[in-house]
Structure 1
């Protein structure tokens, strides 16, 4: 059906359009109504409605279905007009539409320091997810609906209760305040007529996420300088739209190399690098991962653009394309990052980029043949950058602990809620839980993006103070190192108990037998899995197993650690007295970054459980062939199912198999071509140069690994990878050394190696051309790698 949405520029309108498109409908916004099958007029769901219903009704006479949705005071005249002109129209009277995807008008009202209390009369509320579910049914459902529908959460709430839930005070002054008067005029509706999934208290708690970090002053909503508000999914720009100056995005891959979820790029912003993203989300990824992690990375770009405010095409580029997807693999946009780095005052942007991307970016053409828009230049630009840099450094540093604490609490509360038996949860409730989990992950990426900004800022300060790149250790409590500590604790128990060691070295790792014969070790293992079970190789790929899914993987790492000599503690990093305060702040931000990332991965782990429950139900209903097929659907396709989900799953599985053989290079500019499947190996006498992180000279045989082959690494071998993520960390303890082809001083491998003194070299271009079994010597201090015997 062709559906026209009047109010398509509102938050509800944008979200409704996305769901209707998922269901297979053609959707237009405020377009010519002639030829439309359905018209949805929803401009009145977010505050006083300035749009003319009469004009829409006149234009819509003769369409198959007209849906008029509004909240706030009863609009009798509009309803009478509608009934007179279109007798079978659907009127949807909604409670006050709340939730984390709050509309602009209500954000402006509820972000105030004091909310209007009026006479304290109760009013009905409803969650935006329930509103969308009902509107999809009214507009695009197979059964034609007519008449009037009232829907709201049970138990109306008072304005004072809303204010208390949002941490606001109340005021009785509403003179000349149209929005406040509309708000106070919301009536109590018949909640029993159309049951909804969200309770009123749950609506209020979810709305608190929408206004957290936002302040309404002078008729505008401002982000508090010390907080990071969440990004509404409706505010993440599409990547296939032209730039603000009309330049069309283009695909960059070879014929047949672009996948369904690949992104076109603005040719003026051509440079991309895989960095840690390629291992956290190795390709080709599943569609469920695209709808979670890729969305989160893009939300992080929106946050960075809002914080840096470079303006114009550059700001939109940062917001829309901070990351790119090529061959269904995730890349960071180097050109956009270069413009971000230009906002750091009196500093070469390449120095900032090198902290995260290593020397790889120095070998890439950052700009294309077409000139990018000119940025601000001169002393005025530098002074502006000083203000932006200082504001972000002071403001976000001041609020980072609170942001992290609140996010940890949000994920912990969500996990506690999921302790229930999911098999008895209703379908609408399960759909809402999945969306909540998705949005938690997205906000985790927002926080992680801010951490990258802060860590960059402190790196610049330390370089200015010391005259060289200085990265202070984050301390043994850093979250990314917890799995190493867990392995060491379990190995220590096994060393003290010969029976445990025998069980671990047996031909089969039998958890039941370990529990029976070594209960103390089994309890310790259960405790460690509770703490780090959400982690594992390729841990942000939704279909990947974690240590909790496969405890045997963790036990094999413990077994190999038993056969490795105990590590020598690293030498403490010397920091000059005048630098110590800044170094301490930098270390805190690094710990913050890892804490946020850890909790974000925990949220993915919880979401993975919800998706599997949905997959189980869809399989039982005959929609999918097996529960794991659910990972080949987008999150938005679960609540508003595709017309033929099984066909889409089969097509996407085939596409994933096809893209597996088409591997983009780790870095490129402008256009990419698939790498050869068997690149020429390095021969004896070859020397590679990377960035030395720590450790002395060690020798060992090479083991080139990916997330799915990390279990092949044997004690004493040199772990060689394109990049590493936290899922690799436990293997660091029995590797002779760690070598990565990509990465800089702030990359994951570097952070963990510094904490434990593991010999490590990053940014060693060409390292993955080493053949497994090759004998090499690694100098962790200088970054030199010598091929001794190929």
Structure 2
């Protein structure tokens, strides 16, 4: 169907349009201005064009802005749906001949219009005498579902239908939930300050329930709780909503990656058609260079579509937040907000040209030093600029001073609010996990809502983690200025990313104290079930550790991957191998000069904060994975999918609003992933990329592979090339060599002689854990997995970054 959505520049209009597009309909947005998040592939018409011209030939018109302008709808439109809000009072709520008029209560939720945010994020809430009167509310998602059904279901009766949650609440309850004090102001002044209507009509949801068979998924309390996520970290001043400088609010709208820039520059494909994946990023030719580095640690790829709709969305939201904090302005800021990260061959890349301009915002520091701290030396020799340069302000003294103020504001402000943001996110994930304790007991709509909420929690986790990386990089710059060299302060025993490796050490120690467990672990076919039956004390310790780190595992951000909770036998085998490993001396703490110790403490604190945020984000992914598997099971039972894991080849939005021919979509995407899996993508490229040919010769005796030493000490052992699915092949005393590792690999550090990765920098998660536990580690060793051969004996020097082939 061709459906014109009026008011598509508002939150409800955008949400309805997205659902209709996912369902496979031809959507035309209509509004005062095109939203930045509007996809480039979906038509949008500004309201300067007459509505009659836009709606001509449409199957339906769905207007989310009241009845104003509906007299311009073309006469041949067969179906008209109108959303009419009752708070504030809409004087145009009368029925429209031949139309469905959807009246809504106060719309709440984590994605709402600025008008609602402005009401409830003011510093105080003024009571005009109505704060304790019953107030009807409804969640935005419930409204969107009703509107979509009204547009598509031809059997529904025309006329008015009211949409509201079953039980009312009060304005005071909402104000209290979002943390705003209620102030009583006497007299007529109260009504002026409160800016609320005197009367609000009472809605009757009887027709919705009896004629439509619809009951809203969210009750009033749940809608308010979800609304607090949108209000957190925001404050209204006058008629505008602002981010609180020391907090990180949730991103409400992410710019579309395929839309043209404000100056008209169109994005272009970076790869040839046969290797461009469905979710790959078109690039602005003025910002041509991209690099696969620490991002690949999170999602090595080629990733699944479900991972694309979670992690890729999260990295893009993080780029938006960073651009708003650094504020370089103009085309550079827009590029940062849209393509700080890119996707090529369904693998994550960082925009290195964008990173160059980002580094220029750091005052009085060579940008190359900042880039090397993030990306290592992979970008050496890469052309950062295309034929046309973006318009940028010269890096003069005034700009550096301004950058210094921005830099200091980010460092001090975000550090001040860091703990609060982290604690709030931890609580959010705990509530999600509680709600999803038994996915099989959830009704279908509640299950889909928790999937959407889990996705949005992961996106926010990426925002928080990326802000922590920004803070850690900032403190690194200050430490360099104070110390004259790079100094990485130790994060200490509280480092959350070290818990998985610590768990292996603790379990190995427990096994040494338990002769039965030690004997069982020495047998080749030991498993968790046998340990539970014959070594209950050790099994109880294993259960405790799984409760702590069970959500982690190799390739933990990829939705298809198994975690240690999914496969506890993998952790058992790692403990068994750790029992035979030689003890390792803990590293000496780096010497931080007295003048830099206060900064070093702050830097270590932020490093720990970053790992807590990342850990909770991974926990949210773990919960989301369980919810998706339950959804996949139900879709298999309904005949929509063939296999439960087919659900990972759908986007999260497609799970919520299934498009036609799900089985065909899954088949096509599985084939595409198999094709992309056979490609060797470049580590970095500028403007255009093609698959690389692997080296034809392996390293021979006497040759040296150079990388960046991130954890001192040297070790000798045989090479073992591993990926997430083959980490179990690593044997005690071997050198773990991988394209990239995430925290889920780190339990294997307990018995690996050393670690070598092709990608990554000094601040990668694995590098941090290796330093804490004294594991020799070299990152950014280009060609390691291609030219080192399993079984080759090497010596790894974690201080110099050299890998000697013996």
Deviation string, structure 1 residues 610-636 (Cα, Å, up to 9, x no partner): 101101111111111111111111111
1:187 paired residue number: 201
Q: Quick one: which of 311, 316, 338 aligns to 1:293?
A: 311
Q: CA deviation at 1:141?
A: 3.4
TM-score (norm 2): 0.93
Alpha-carbon spacing, 1:118–1:61, altered in 2? closer, same or farther (3 Å)? farther
1:550 paired residue number: 567
- Does residue 216 (structure 1) correspond to residue 236 (structure 2)? The answer is yes
Alpha-carbon spacing, 1:148–1:511, altered in 2? closer, same or farther (3 Å)? same
Moved more, 473-482 or 118-127: 118-127
- Does residue 7 (structure 1) correspond to residue 29 (structure 2)? The answer is no
For 2:580 and 2:322, how far apart are their aligned partners in 1?
A: 46
Q: CA deviation at 1:425?
A: 1.5
Q: Quick one: which of 181, 200, 225 aligns to 1:205?
A: 225
Give the match's secondary structure for 1:300. Answer: helix
Q: CA deviation at 1:375?
A: 3.0
Contact 2:300 2:740 in 1 (8 A): no
In structure 1, the gaps of 5 or more residues are: 45-52
Q: CA deviation at 1:142?
A: 5.5
Give the superposed CA RMSD. 1.8
- Does residue 441 (structure 1) correspond to residue 462 (structure 2)? The answer is no
- Does residue 70 (structure 1) correspond to residue 84 (structure 2)? The answer is yes
For 1:130 and 1:345, how far apart are their aligned partners in 2?
A: 48
Contact 1:725 1:749 in 2 (8 A): yes
Alpha-carbon spacing, 1:705–1:247, altered in 2? closer, same or farther (3 Å)? same
For 1:3 and 1:723, how far apart are their aligned partners in 2?
A: 46
Moved more, 215-224 or 493-502: 493-502
Give the match's secondary structure for 1:738. Answer: strand
Alpha-carbon spacing, 1:41–1:181, altered in 2? closer, same or farther (3 Å)? farther
For 1:497 and 1:752, how far apart are their aligned partners in 2?
A: 28
Q: CA deviation at 1:140?
A: 2.4
- Does residue 258 (structure 1) correspond to residue 270 (structure 2)? The answer is no
Q: Quick one: which of 148, 151, 161 aligns to 2:173?
A: 161
Length, aligned pairs only: 773
Deviation string, structure 1 residues 368-413 (Cα, Å, up to 9, x no partner): 2221222353221111101100111110000001111111111112
For 1:561 and 1:368, how far apart are their aligned partners in 2?
A: 50
Q: Quick one: which of 104, 110, 116 aligns to 1:100?
A: 110
Q: Quick one: which of 248, 251, 257 aligns to 1:231?
A: 251
Alpha-carbon spacing, 1:286–1:76, altered in 2? closer, same or farther (3 Å)? closer
TM-score (norm 1): 0.95
Q: How does 1:508-587 map to 2 (within 5 A)?
A: 508-587=525-604
Q: CA deviation at 1:296?
A: 0.6
Contact 1:124 1:187 in 2 (8 A): no
Q: Quick one: which of 783, 791, 796 aligns to 1:766?
A: 783
1:26 paired residue number: 26
Contact 1:72 1:182 in 2 (8 A): no
1:49 paired residue number: none
For 1:747 and 1:74, how far apart are their aligned partners in 2?
A: 50
Give the match's secondary structure for 2:161. Answer: strand
For 1:594 and 1:75, how far apart are their aligned partners in 2?
A: 47
- Does residue 625 (structure 1) correspond to residue 625 (structure 2)? The answer is no
Contact 1:6 1:43 in 2 (8 A): yes
1:777 paired residue number: 795
Alpha-carbon spacing, 1:68–1:728, altered in 2? closer, same or farther (3 Å)? same
Moved more, 173-182 or 459-468: 173-182
Alpha-carbon spacing, 1:618–1:170, altered in 2? closer, same or farther (3 Å)? same
Alpha-carbon spacing, 1:669–1:183, altered in 2? closer, same or farther (3 Å)? farther
Give the match's secondary structure for 2:380. Answer: helix
Q: CA deviation at 1:463?
A: 0.3
1:756 paired residue number: 773
For 1:406 and 1:73, how far apart are their aligned partners in 2?
A: 30
Q: How does 1:282-431 map to 2 (within 5 A)?
A: 282-419=300-437, 421-431=438-448
Contact 2:126 2:190 in 1 (8 A): no
Contact 2:127 2:190 in 1 (8 A): no
Q: CA deviation at 1:79?
A: 4.3
Q: CA deviation at 1:503?
A: 1.8
Q: CA deviation at 1:76?
A: 8.1
For 1:134 and 1:680, how far apart are their aligned partners in 2?
A: 62
Contact 2:84 2:92 in 1 (8 A): no
Deviation string, structure 1 residues 513-536 (Cα, Å, up to 9, x no partner): 211100001101111001000000
For 2:570 and 2:90, how far apart are their aligned partners in 1?
A: 65
1:653 paired residue number: 670
Alpha-carbon spacing, 1:193–1:113, altered in 2? closer, same or farther (3 Å)? farther
Give the match's secondary structure for 1:359. Answer: coil
Contact 1:327 1:663 in 2 (8 A): no
- Does residue 276 (structure 1) correspond to residue 288 (structure 2)? The answer is no
Q: How does 1:565-644 map to 2 (within 5 A)?
A: 565-644=582-661
Alpha-carbon spacing, 1:178–1:678, altered in 2? closer, same or farther (3 Å)? farther
Deviation string, structure 1 residues 54-93 (Cα, Å, up to 9, x no partner): 432332433111111021259786344x53xxx2200101
2:73 paired residue number: 59
Deviation string, structure 1 residues 480-529 (Cα, Å, up to 9, x no partner): 10011100011111122232122223232332221110000110111100
2:158 paired residue number: 146
Contact 2:260 2:267 in 1 (8 A): yes
Q: CA deviation at 1:139?
A: 1.2
Give the match's secondary structure for 1:777. Answer: strand
Give the match's secondary structure for 2:611. Answer: helix
Contact 1:127 1:203 in 2 (8 A): yes
- Does residue 245 (structure 1) correspond to residue 263 (structure 2)? The answer is yes
Q: CA deviation at 1:288?
A: 0.6
Contact 1:276 1:724 in 2 (8 A): no
Give the match's secondary structure for 2:235. Answer: strand
1:122 paired residue number: 134
Q: CA deviation at 1:204?
A: 0.8
Deviation string, structure 1 residues 281-321 (Cα, Å, up to 9, x no partner): 12111111111111111110111111111111111111111
Give the match's secondary structure for 1:362. Answer: coil
Alpha-carbon spacing, 1:10–1:76, altered in 2? closer, same or farther (3 Å)? closer
Q: CA deviation at 1:670?
A: 1.6
Contact 1:118 1:184 in 2 (8 A): no
For 2:134 and 2:517, how far apart are their aligned partners in 1?
A: 63
Give the match's secondary structure for 1:360. Answer: coil
Contact 1:227 1:396 in 2 (8 A): yes
Deviation string, structure 1 residues 452-504 (Cα, Å, up to 9, x no partner): 11011100000000111111111121011001110001111112223212222
Q: CA deviation at 1:678?
A: 6.0
Contact 1:665 1:674 in 2 (8 A): yes
Q: CA deviation at 1:175?
A: 5.7
Q: Quick one: which of 92, 103, 119 aligns to 1:109?
A: 119
Alpha-carbon spacing, 1:177–1:509, altered in 2? closer, same or farther (3 Å)? farther
Q: CA deviation at 1:280?
A: 2.2
Give the match's secondary structure for 1:78. Answer: coil
For 1:145 and 1:772, how far apart are their aligned partners in 2?
A: 69
For 1:682 and 1:293, how far apart are their aligned partners in 2?
A: 35
Q: How does 1:606-755 map to 2 (within 5 A)?
A: 606-677=623-694, 679-755=696-772
Moved more, 490-499 or 627-636: 490-499
Alpha-carbon spacing, 1:25–1:116, altered in 2? closer, same or farther (3 Å)? farther
Q: CA deviation at 1:183?
A: 5.8
For 2:568 and 2:68, how far apart are their aligned partners in 1?
A: 64
Deviation string, structure 1 residues 522-568 (Cα, Å, up to 9, x no partner): 10111100100000011011111000000111111111101101121
Contact 2:127 2:194 in 1 (8 A): no
